[in-house]
Structure 1
Amino acid sequence: MASKIRIALDAMGGDHGPAVVVPGADVALTHHPDLSFVFFGDEKIIRPLLEAHPKLAAASSVHHTDVAIRMDDKPSQALRYGRWKSSMWLAIEAIKNGEADATVSAGNTGALMAMARFCLRTMAEIERPAIAALWPTLRGESIVLDVGASIGADSEALIDMAVMGAAMARIVLGLERPTVGLLNVGVEEVKGLEMVREAGRVLREAHLPGMKYHGFVEGDDIGNGTVDVVVTEGFAGNIALKTAEGTAKQIASYLRSAMSRTLMARIGYLFARGAFASLRMRLDPRRANGGVFLGLRGIVVKSHGGTDAEGYAAAIDLAYDMVKQDLMTKITESLSFDHRAITAAATSTDAA
């Protein structure tokens, strides 16, 4: 691996474009001085912003394009007019061409997934990629996937997500054998859709060495940190993610209102500022910004489209960690080894 970790940035993606991407990259560079960046987008906008950050400018290059994927574009539209020339496509293609080790974009999620899948292709054992997100919990952090790559999933897709999520947990969370749970409407084995029950049966019988299968988990188990990896299909996962983000903002709003309501409340806040600052940091969605597209032949990280520089830096930090810890090799090894055990478990039951 090169001494510098190279990150390709879709500078035009997201609600704010280069106004957030450039200062976000500058924040990430202070975290990781061995980073270098390739910005893809409108050079007339990017260059003046880079000039305000000399260290970042010295560690960066700019590839000009005036084509940007809109946030409301359908994936099919984005592929038709944005392939080969948009900032999003060029940032993804930089991985394929060996110009970057990872890509970060705050752009249209559907378009990003479609382009990444078309350009990079999926791993040998994977039919459908998934977006994996870090989730703050009472125990620390967990990984939840899929949080929006696709709608619906059969048992094989759920099993693949379990294997990939466990591999990511071993890297990000530093766990030798992370616990994995399937999100369901109840913990009893007879509950839930057939594909979820089938995936649970195979994972239970396969006894995979890279994970410890916990069983079914419910919605409240996500925040409780009952397991290290929560697996679900993208529709439910995305709703859970947006609900958690909205709830965090709601609680923060309630606290601000309560602390300013009376004189005694304001005095109490002065004595408890440290505790409230810690709580505010725990509730800050920017700290967990960034979802990794697992199952592709390259590292692509999706940042929240409306985040600020600090949040965008968190997405870059995540991409950095994935490259530094060699996520691609570890997932490939896990898939190759675990799929033999999974196939054996599925075959034995079919024969019975």
Structure 2
Amino acid sequence: MDPFYWEATTRHQTPKAKQGKAQNSVERQFRKNPFAKALSTPIRQCTASRKRFPAFFLQDFNLIAHPETSEPWWVPHSLLWEQHTVAAQPVNAAGDEEFHDEHMDIAIEEEKADPTEGGPTVKTPATVRSKNAQPYGPSAYVLARQDLISGFTTKGSGYENLPRRLFGGSSSRYVKLGGKAIWREDMDSLVMHRMRQGIIEDLLYLSSLCIEDNRSYIKGCHSWDDVEYKPNRAVLWFGDDTEPNEAGKPKIQPGPFSTCNSQTANGAISMAVHNIPMLLGAQGTADVRQKSAMFADISLFLLSGRRTTDLQLKLWRLQGYLADFKRESEDDQP
């Protein structure tokens, strides 16, 4: 009956209070700034590098029991359990890969990498159903980098045994179970697909609000001169279908982490420019344009409004996941 006992034993089980309305102008500005929100996420440690980062830059993994064999499996928890805004039909956003996604019931029977994406062909006759499997034990974290996660199944990478040690310094109870857990051979592709799927669903949802309710979350721009420079905005570039310029060279396209900058009366403004074909792939970009009339004829769009903050976070996170920093540094050499 001791209230101090129950307070100590249940304090970590109490659900967090829902986020209320912003109390002041500083809080309102914070909630509209995707970069501030990314940096404010809880600090967690990457098992691979043993460095501590905001959770935004990490990918979390949890153990679940396979619904058929009851064997422990590693799954990217936050991506599989994510509650998307729109309950849309499955969108094939990764080339020839076939994923089934219906009411968060994720079944992956066989996956074939798109040759244009440069990925290996992987067949994994397995099923991971999120709604029937609860996560077990604490979360494990690694940097959200495709080259790192793919190294878990690459011989000679130095990380091939890391899936057995993902729990790091956790109790021996979890470490022993994690050493027996199954790590998917195509985990890096699965994570990429789920990131892309979330972006596609958000783009379709926000565009439907703009069309049906006359919202202004996404605004089409006929040229770069039409882009309005204001804080907490981002530019979406869907590709340039025009012919090469007079010199016979293709037009320059935005690279990873590109920005457009301008000097305004209120100071310098820098906005992120997201190369959608580079992030979503050719098929994913085509699906977005086919499913929403807003993206059919224009190649340049402006994201604005607090409701687009989560989408901007997803786009920025996918940028970091796919970026090849080694190749970019080599390209910069004279």
Q: TM-score, normalised by structure 2?
A: 0.28
Task: Choose between structure 1 and 2 for higher RCO, CA contacts under 8 A separated by at least 6 residues.
Answer: 1
Q: TM-score, normalised by structure 1?
A: 0.27
